[in-house]
Structure 1
Amino acid sequence: MNDHRTSEIPAPDDLSAVPRGRHRRSTTHLDGLPSVPLSVWLTEPLTGCCPLCAGPVVTACARRLPVALVRQITETYSESGDVVWVPDAGNGSLLIGPVTCGRRVIGYARTASALLKEQPTEIASRAVLRHVPPTGLPGQSERLASRAALAILAPHHPATASELAPVLDATVRVVSPGGGVVVVTRQQPGQDRPGLLTAFAQAAGLTYLQHVAAVEASATGGKLRPRTETASHGPDCACPGASARAGRHQVAHHDLLVFTK
């Protein structure tokens, strides 16, 4: 994966839309629940835990995303110099990933993240970070209308319609026509979470384009080998009992739901 960092990227305060070099998406929308292309990516496992989620180590939320996955999303669905909108910076990966790919980021944080301290100078040069609750996002989005080429969301679980509505409304307002929205999630017992989030996104006015299964595995000798989490959960670990998750013998995956405006 190439790093597209360049000195020609405007400062983060200059949030004017960057001219699009090409239109990358041509999938047509189908009425009702659409049948969309399915892709499979091999990726690193989710990391750490989330005290905001019902299952601290079983959700694919903003506080658990690995930087490598965010970089892959960024490189696939945006171009160098684009603005990426992040309504929840989570553990910091959603800021670090786009910035190290040469994008500019407008992000919002609920809590401080130790991960952001690893690359403070580079992040500060290309990212605008504000501390705003989800309910305040629609107001923030008014002056950013149609500025972002890509938005990356990774909602916490559970999330009700009333909690998701302001986030999705703001996302639709900020993303430019033809821009992309990627929602990261994971199936939960007793709930079709990808289907639920797809319905919410479509109700907000987004068009469903693609489903990516991000498999936590590596390919060796024609076989998938599950990857296991190695990173420490840190002092704010929310897990009951041992903080580190035991090694797995089964391949796990999470879902990337890709939409366009």
Structure 2
Amino acid sequence: MSTSCGDNGPPPVSKTPVPLTVWLTDPFAGCCTSCEIPGDAACADRIPPGLAHRIIDAFSATGDLVFLPDPGNGILLTAAARAGRGAVALSTKGLSTKALSAEALSAEAHLHLTSTPAPAHLRRTVPHARARLAVAAPHTPATPHHAAALIAACARALHPRGVLVLCSRQSGAPDAAGHLIAHAQACGLAYLQHIVAVEAVATGSALAPRRPRTVDHAPGCACPLSRVRAGRHALIHTDLLVLTKP
């Protein structure tokens, strides 16, 4: 029995090996109260500028459209605009992607365009956008229903041979990356590449971890990671799962 895109029970992940690449990047920063662990998630509200620019540059070209199911902190939108790309994004002001239903994701997948710095043209209806790149960095933990809806929206937005980049972190649910890949494969996407984004800088023959200088917390935030305590292991890498639409 096959599993269709959007079902809560994704099929097993393909065991075919994919290329593994390591990128050195700035640390994820900030605090997202929509995530279970506010200061240790790889969601759209915490993505660093350097990583956003590298994703945009690696998987799209000038003039391409980039689809963002959650604009988050706006870093990906800014990176797309500065690189000469358009950006199709959901309007999620006041909402987290975790709060969006599958129906909302499906209905609003192509509604808003951000492509130029001119205020009058920041948003206009784009009913049939076809993006060359989609970037999804869901809040954690994402339910199977939400993850399936999020990925299905990205799959619909992509142009054939377009690329979806999914951000995942081990601080989320166990085997979160595997579940995201399985949902994407159920939508007909092919697993292309696994990138490990390491928050470090090369110093000679070694890597030195990079930590954010400051962490911005919402008022009243009780984030358990507002301070890294002695003896506590800090997570310094994020998995970027790269898939393509045949």
Q: How would you bin the TM-score normalised by the shorter chain?
A: 0.7 to 0.9
- The counterpart of 1:47, out of the listed 29, 33, 48, is 29
Counterpart code for 1:164: A
What does 1:137-216 correspond to in 2, within 5 Å? 137-141=105-109, 144-145=127-128, 147-188=130-171, 191-216=174-199
Q: How big is the shift at 1:249?
A: 8.0
Whether the 8 Å contact between 1:49 and 1:237 is mirrored in structure 2 is: no
What does 1:82-161 correspond to in 2, within 5 Å? 82-111=64-93, 133=100, 135=102, 136-141=104-109, 144-145=127-128, 147-161=130-144
What is the TM-score with the length of structure 1 in the denominator? 0.74
Match of 1:129 in 2: none
Whether the 8 Å contact between 1:237 and 1:243 is mirrored in structure 2 is: no
Work out the percentage of aligned pairs sharing the same amino acid.
Answer: 40
Closer, same or farther in 2 for the Cα pair 1:112/1:246, shift >3 Å? farther
Whether the 8 Å contact between 1:216 and 1:253 is mirrored in structure 2 is: yes
What does 1:1-80 correspond to in 2, within 5 Å? 32-80=14-62
Whether the 8 Å contact between 2:25 and 2:51 is mirrored in structure 1 is: yes
Counterpart CA distance in 1 for 2:211 and 2:17 is 32
Closer, same or farther in 2 for the Cα pair 1:188/1:208, shift >3 Å? same
Counterpart CA distance in 2 for 1:201 and 1:61 is 18
For residue 141 of structure 1, give the secondary structure of its aligned residue in structure 2.
Answer: coil
Counterpart code for 1:223: A
- The counterpart of 1:221, out of the listed 176, 188, 204, is 204
Counterpart code for 2:184: A
Higher normalized contact order (CA 8 Å, seq sep 6+, divided by chain length): 2
What is the TM-score with the length of structure 2 in the denominator? 0.78
Whether the 8 Å contact between 1:40 and 1:213 is mirrored in structure 2 is: yes
Matched, 1:259 2:243: yes
Q: How big is the shift at 1:90?
A: 0.8
Whether the 8 Å contact between 2:89 and 2:109 is mirrored in structure 1 is: no
Whether the 8 Å contact between 1:50 and 1:238 is mirrored in structure 2 is: no
For residue 37 of structure 2, give the secondary structure of its aligned residue in structure 1.
Answer: coil
Counterpart code for 1:38: L
Question: Which 10-residue stretch deviates more, 170-179 or 104-113?
Answer: 104-113
Counterpart CA distance in 1 for 2:14 and 2:24 is 30
Q: Give the total of aligned pairs.
A: 213
Match of 1:22 in 2: none
Whether the 8 Å contact between 2:169 and 2:176 is mirrored in structure 1 is: yes
Counterpart code for 2:187: A
For residue 109 of structure 2, give the secondary structure of its aligned residue in structure 1.
Answer: helix
Whether the 8 Å contact between 1:226 and 1:251 is mirrored in structure 2 is: no
Structure 1, gaps ≥5 residues long = 1-30, 114-131
Counterpart code for 1:82: D
Counterpart code for 1:68: G
